[in-house]
């Protein structure tokens, strides 16, 4: 397989989240895709099989597992595809459902991609599960933002949304590397979306991903979409609204994720970013 390497949600190779992209994985079985993803070692590698109608079947593998949907690898794949075939509209058929993706040239010549997630959902976290999660994160309840209550949010994959009351709390990530992945695997959580709200439209995020073999993600588009759905479901934003999420700063890989939250509870969340080849 011809593996392309892109970094998503950044204009420069030193930022963002790296992703592997295989634009034609026809004939590759699950074992082969898993082996390639493990060898590359990025948080996700996307494997594409073109359909006769011009849409794409896409599967996403981390070094340790397959995930139903990955935002940063979707952006990377869309930009890589546009570089080869031209910008335009696409449909990605993922295990989470169909995801509409559009690419366009920016004035500076870069290609940006916007995906529209499957309809998001938000669910409560049982008090015992929240206590276990905070314990695994080594956070305390009094370090949480009371204005952003803990929930589990979905926009193709499930992510607990846990909001810190301060930027200083978010800056320290020192979780239990045995307890957290056990808890996440038990509940089917892909990453944990740790956030801090700088302003009504600007958020900072960190995303542990130990179940995938990655301590932390520098940019997580699926969690960004889930956060947009969470904010809309809980009435914490007045849609339509555009949000900016900064992620990866504490890792030295700054990433910027644009999130557009439309009106209507059953509409997908739009996530926008750029990607550059490595």
- Give the β-pairing of 56-61 and 89-94: parallel
Q: Which of 14, 39, 44, 66 is catalytic?
A: 44
How would CATH label the architecture of 121-277? Roll (3.10)
For tokens 């392309």, the residue is 4
Q: Which structure tokens are listed for 23?
A: 């634009």
Q: What does the pLDDT profile of the chain (278 residues) look like in tens digits?
A: 899 999 999 999 999 999 999 999 999 999 999 999 999 999 999 999 999 999 999 999 999 999 999 999 999 999 999 999 999 999 999 999 999 999 999 999 899 999 999 999 999 999 999 999 999 999 999 999 999 999 999 999 999 999 999 999 999 999 999 999 999 999 999 999 999 999 999 999 999 999 999 999 999 999 999 999 999 999 999 999 999 999 999 999 999 999 999 998 889 999 999 999 99
Dist CA 142 CA 170 (whole Å)? 13
Cis amide leading into 166 (omega within 30) = no
Query: What does the domain layout of the chain look like in residue ranges?
Result: 4-108, 121-277
- Give the β-pairing of 158-163 and 193-199: parallel
Task: Please say if 44 is a catalytic residue.
Answer: yes
Which of these, 43, 86, 83, lies nearest to 66 by C-alpha position? 43
- Give the β-pairing of 193-199 and 97-105: unpaired
Matching CATH topology for 4-108 and 121-277? yes
- Asked whether the whole model's pTM tops 0.85, one would answer yes
CA atoms within 13 A on the CB side of 15: 17
Which of these, 175, 169, 162, lies nearest to 215 by C-alpha position? 175
Homologous superfamily of 4-108 in CATH?
Diaminopimelate Epimerase; Chain A, domain 1 (3.10.310.10)
* 3-class SS of residue 125: coil
**H/E stretch holding 124:** none
Q: Which residues contact 45 (CB under 8 A, 6 or more apart)?
A: 3, 19, 20, 21, 22, 33, 36, 37, 60, 61, 73
Phi/psi of residue 75, nearest 5 degrees = -65, -45
Residue 249 DSSP symbol: G
């Amino acid at each position: 397989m011809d593996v392309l390497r892109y970094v998503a949600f950044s204009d420069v190779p030193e930022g963002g989240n790296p992703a592997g992209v295989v634009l034609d994985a026809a004939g590759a079985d699950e074992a082969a895709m898993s082996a390639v993803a493990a060898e590359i070692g990025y948080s996700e590698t996307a494997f594409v099989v073109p359909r006769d109608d011009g849409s794409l079947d896409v599967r996403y593998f981390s070094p340790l597992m397959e995930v139903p949907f990955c935002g940063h690898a979707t952006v990377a794949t869309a930009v890589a595809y546009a570089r080869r075939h031209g910008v335009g509209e696409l449909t990605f058929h993922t295990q989470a459902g169909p995801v509409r993706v559009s690419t366009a040239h920016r004035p500076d010549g870069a290609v940006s991609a916007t995906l529209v997630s499957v309809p998001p959902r938000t669910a409560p976290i049982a008090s015992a599960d929240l206590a276990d999660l905070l314990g695994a994160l080594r956070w305390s309840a009094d370090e949480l933002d009371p204005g952003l209550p803990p929930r589990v949010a979905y926009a193709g994959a499930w992510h607990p949304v846990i909001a810190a009351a301060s930027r200083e709390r978010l800056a320290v990530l020192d979780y239990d590397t045995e307890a957290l992945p056990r808890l996440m695997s038990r509940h089917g959580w892909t990453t944990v979306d740790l956030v801090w709200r700088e302003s009504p439209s600007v958020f900072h995020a960190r995303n542990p991903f130990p179940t995938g073999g990655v301590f932390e993600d520098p940019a997580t588009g699926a969690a960004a979409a889930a956060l947009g759905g969470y904010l809309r479901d809980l009435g914490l934003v007045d849609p339509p609204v555009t949000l900016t999420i900064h992620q990866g700063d504490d890792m030295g890989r700054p990433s910027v994720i644009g999130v557009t939250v439309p009106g209507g509870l059953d509409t997908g969340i739009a996530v926008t970013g750029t990607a550059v080849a490595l």
